[in-house]
Structure 1
Amino acid sequence: MRTGDEAILEVCDLVKHYPLTQGILIKRQVGSVRAVDGVSFGLRRGETLGVVGESGCGKSTLAKLLVHLERPTSGSIRFKGEDITRLSGRALKAVRRNIQMVFQDPYTSLNPRMTVGDIIGEPFEIHPEAAPKGDRRKRVRELLDVVGLDPGYVNRYPHQFSGGQRQRIGIARGLALNPEIIICDEPVSALDVSVQAQVVNLLERLQDEFHLSYVFIAHDLSVVRHISDRVAVMYLGRLAETGTDGQIYEHPTHPYTQALLSAVPVPDPRARDRRERILLSGDVPSPAHPPSGCRFRTRCWKAQEVCARDVPPLDVPEWFREGGGPAAHPSACHFAAERQVVPPEPVGPGEP
């Protein structure tokens, strides 16, 4: 896929804290859940940014913030240079047309009382300028055809479809208003492996056809690598490491990224036997009481006193800047070091 240099979406120091309260008649705040705590990244036109991390790290909250389903505690989200966190009313409605979302669960994200035609055509009721009233049924049929479904299914209900077909309906709904950005919140995690491949290939084809930009959130690192141009690894509300797919998967420098990669299933038995497994100790800390300094330090084998005292910046480590190379990418670790988790396959006799 071809990406441009123009940043269509810029996120700067995005924060979302949910208050924790006590009391029945008089409620007082006693703390907060730091779901997203200072996330910054950019998304270029035509690019796919993959976001990976464990459950509870804040990925879905980040997705809701990007489509303005949640209001941030602080920080900014700029779409084409305009801070959309400050918008409301008609101005926000206009921006929402250009940033759509595909949800994780294809079963609960579709209204069971509405036909497929009504579900896909509902955005036209909110944004009537997107399609004239007389052409909406035709447009719905075209969208069904685009995502690989029979246009004749327009009068069927969601319960008459499989999980993969329902997700295609959700993608068609996301495409209805011709958006520029689609936020994909784990769109394949509830699907079978074979269906996952079909949906991912569909998303790639639609990206080329409609010049879309994606923020693709997932647990499965192999799926993220297949579709992403750049990858952001998230841990407990913050980004731990960012880079191109080759930098993250072949030259990881953050201990958390290395631990994640060591757990990815490897289809080749020879590579699987030579893979170095990294087992983390302890549980993921509560986002209501995150560790001081580096949030990964309570599970990290490299942790030292400085890790508890200072928050490591998400930047290219000093010792990688001069030499450059694939290891020179942002990593939020005081002791970032390249580590090959899965060694390359040995070259056999007679092979180049």
Structure 2
Amino acid sequence: MAEPILQVRGLVKHYPLTQGILFRKQVGAVKAVDGVDLELGRGETLGVVGESGCGKSTLARLLVSLERPTEGSILFKGEDVTRLSGRALKAVRRNIQMVFQDPYTSLNPRMTVGDIIGEPFDIHPEVAPKGDRRRKVQELLDVVGLNPEYVNRYPHQFSGGQRQRIGIARGLALRPEVIVADEPVSALDVSVQAQVINLLDRLQGEFGLSYVFIAHDLSIVRHISDRVGVMYLGRIVEIGSDEEIYDHPTHPYTQALLSAVPVPDPEARRHRERIILTGDVPSPANPPSGCRFRTRCWKARERCALEVPLLAVPAAFRYAEGPAAHDSACHFAEEKQVVPPEGGTGPGAPPAKGDPGPGEPPAEGGGATRLT
């Protein structure tokens, strides 16, 4: 991995549960994020996948300091962001920006596109002089593939894909080093998804960006990510390169997720083992003891209820070489290939590249496969 630009250590975010009207007292906590460790390399894309409610969006808000963590640290270039406030925090926020999930609600309908993209310049006036802001906004619109003359239009005059491009332009306004993308294509059509993903890929090369990319779509995550982290009930349960996670998964939860991806090849679908998980996802307010996945895992033993598995290379692969030797939080981890290798006709095949400009026909993209 490249030199880390963002490091997360023991990150915890608990939301208190209270009862009472006059005298409110805390009776519990929703453990949205409960001990996350990860690193983001400079110029790298880290994908984060998992079921709805596993804490992905809360993790994204913590990384951009929209939420304060209960415990843990977030190091940006070695500096703990969680201890900063005032001007120091404002300076760090300039370098860590976010692209939101919903392009319809993340833009103010009463503001023009020029005002939306130019708003970061009002907060950080040192980035662009006041008389130069309109030109800067038009340059950003051009960079994301929109007509620079659209600065006086309102969000309702754009399609979903165009609105997401506006959100990306706003995120790029301050020339950040890290962008946290919280499911940026989940609300878009498949062909538009491919255009936005290819745009993000191109911008990463042009501006030297590092991405934390959160999504449900396994095909898109594999296409854009250098490494992938799988999240379950507030914790990372497996992390590794895209090849390690997709072709050599060792955690049962990762294997179950990959087995749920539809395969377009009837022959491959006929010979694939489908892993059906029993039961519902436990409540984050009362997670199981030991391994949190044990209540739905077919490998669960007594040890799983008593001992929390560490996110590390499993003992079975500790002295072995190969893609199976990557971090996995499971006492009984074993390698199992679930999806066809990348480049085939299965869900591992990446969507078509090429980002068509305005007026060109939309690019073909990979299938939109959701985990939930």
TM-score, normalised on structure 2?
A: 0.91
Aligned to 1:57: 54
Aligned to 1:350: none
How far did residue 74 of structure 1 move? 0.3
What residue identity is the alignment partner of 1:118? D
What residue identity is the alignment partner of 2:308? V
Distance 2:264 2:11 in 1: 38
Asked whether 1:80 is paired with 2:77, we answer yes
Residues 142-221 of structure 1 correspond to what in structure 2 (within 5 A)? 142-221=139-218
Aligned to 2:222: 225
- The match for 2:329 among 329, 332, 337 is 332
Distance 1:275 1:132 in 2: 59
Q: Secondary structure at the match of 1:41?
A: strand
How far did residue 51 of structure 1 move? 0.2
Q: Which residues of structure 2 form unaligned runs of 5+?
A: 345-372
**Kindly tell me: are residues 290 and 136 of structure 1, through their superposed partners in 2, closer, same or farther at Cα, counting changes over 3 Å?**
same
Distance 2:288 2:262 in 1: 30
Aligned to 2:234: 237
How far did residue 244 of structure 1 move? 0.1
Residues 1-352 of structure 1 correspond to what in structure 2 (within 5 A)? 5-342=2-339
Q: Check the 8 A contact 1:9/1:77 in 2, yes or no.
A: yes
Q: Check the 8 A contact 2:250/2:333 in 1, yes or no.
A: yes
Distance 2:337 2:218 in 1: 16
Q: Secondary structure at the match of 1:37?
A: strand
Q: Report how many residues are paired.
A: 343
How far did residue 344 of structure 1 move? 5.7
Distance 1:174 1:267 in 2: 36
Distance 2:110 2:180 in 1: 25
For residues 184-207 of structure 1, what are the alpha-carbon distances to aligned partners after superposition, in whole Å with 9 as ceiling and x for unaligned?
000000001110010000000000
Q: Secondary structure at the match of 1:246?
A: helix
For residues 51-93 of structure 1, what are the alpha-carbon distances to aligned partners after superposition, in whole Å with 9 as ceiling and x for unaligned?
0000000000000000000000000000000000000000000
What residue identity is the alignment partner of 1:227? I
How far did residue 332 of structure 1 move? 0.2
Q: Check the 8 A contact 2:237/2:329 in 1, yes or no.
A: yes
How far did residue 300 of structure 1 move? 0.2
Q: Which residues of structure 1 form unaligned runs of 5+?
A: 348-352
**Kindly tell me: are residues 344 and 130 of structure 1, through their superposed partners in 2, closer, same or farther at Cα, counting changes over 3 Å?**
closer
For residues 103-144 of structure 1, what are the alpha-carbon distances to aligned partners after superposition, in whole Å with 9 as ceiling and x for unaligned?
000000000000000000000000000111111000000000
How far did residue 270 of structure 1 move? 2.1
For residues 10-54 of structure 1, what are the alpha-carbon distances to aligned partners after superposition, in whole Å with 9 as ceiling and x for unaligned?
000000000000000110000000000000000000000000000
Q: Percent identity?
A: 81
Aligned to 2:348: none
How far did residue 269 of structure 1 move? 2.4
How far did residue 343 of structure 1 move? 5.1
Q: Secondary structure at the match of 1:190?
A: coil
Distance 2:235 2:339 in 1: 25
**CA root-mean-square deviation:** 1.1
Q: Secondary structure at the match of 2:328?
A: coil
What residue identity is the alignment partner of 2:42? R
What residue identity is the alignment partner of 1:212? L
Q: Check the 8 A contact 2:247/2:340 in 1, yes or no.
A: no
Distance 2:266 2:128 in 1: 53
What residue identity is the alignment partner of 1:326? P
For residues 245-280 of structure 1, what are the alpha-carbon distances to aligned partners after superposition, in whole Å with 9 as ceiling and x for unaligned?
000000000000000000112222222222211000
How far did residue 340 of structure 1 move? 1.3
What residue identity is the alignment partner of 2:47? G
Q: Check the 8 A contact 2:246/2:339 in 1, yes or no.
A: no
Aligned to 2:367: none
What residue identity is the alignment partner of 1:303? A
